[in-house]
Amino acid sequence: MSVPSMAFKTILMRIAAGVVLLTLVGCGSNDSAQAPETQEQAETQQAEPPSEADIEAVEAEWRAHQDEVNQVLSSMDRAMFIGESPTRGNADAEVVVVKFSDFECPFCAVASVHMKDFVEERGDEVLYVYKHLPLKSIHPEAEPAAKASWAAARQDQFWIYHTGLFANQDRLGDDLYVELAEQIGLDIEKFNRDRNSEEAQAAVDQDLALAEKLKIGRTPSFLMGGLLVPPGVPPESFGELLDNLNATTTPPAVE
Amino acid found at 156? D
Q: Is 113 helix (H, G, I), strand (E, B) or coil?
A: helix
pLDDT single digits (tens) 62-112: 889 999 999 999 999 999 999 999 999 999 999 999 999 999 999 999 999
Distance separating alpha carbons of residues 68 and 156, to the nearest angstrom: 34
Domain 6-240 in CATH: superfamily?
Glutaredoxin (3.40.30.10)
pLDDT single digits (tens) 137-155: 999 999 999 999 999 999 9
Distance separating alpha carbons of residues 189 and 127, to the nearest angstrom: 32
Rounded to two decimals, the pTM is 0.84
Could you tell me if 99 and 220 are in contact, meaning their C-beta atoms sit under 8 angstroms apart?
yes
Distance separating alpha carbons of residues 25 and 142, to the nearest angstrom: 18
199, burial (CB in 10 Å: exposed 0-12, middle 13-18, buried 19+): middle
Distance separating alpha carbons of residues 16 and 11, to the nearest angstrom: 9
Residue 225: phi and psi, rounded to 5, are: 60, 35
Residues 6+ apart with CB under 8 A from 27: 35, 102, 105, 106, 107, 108, 135, 138, 139, 218, 219
Of 224, 238, 13, the residue nearest 114 (C-alpha): 238
Domain ranges of the chain: 6-240
pLDDT single digits (tens) 63-74: 899 999 999 999
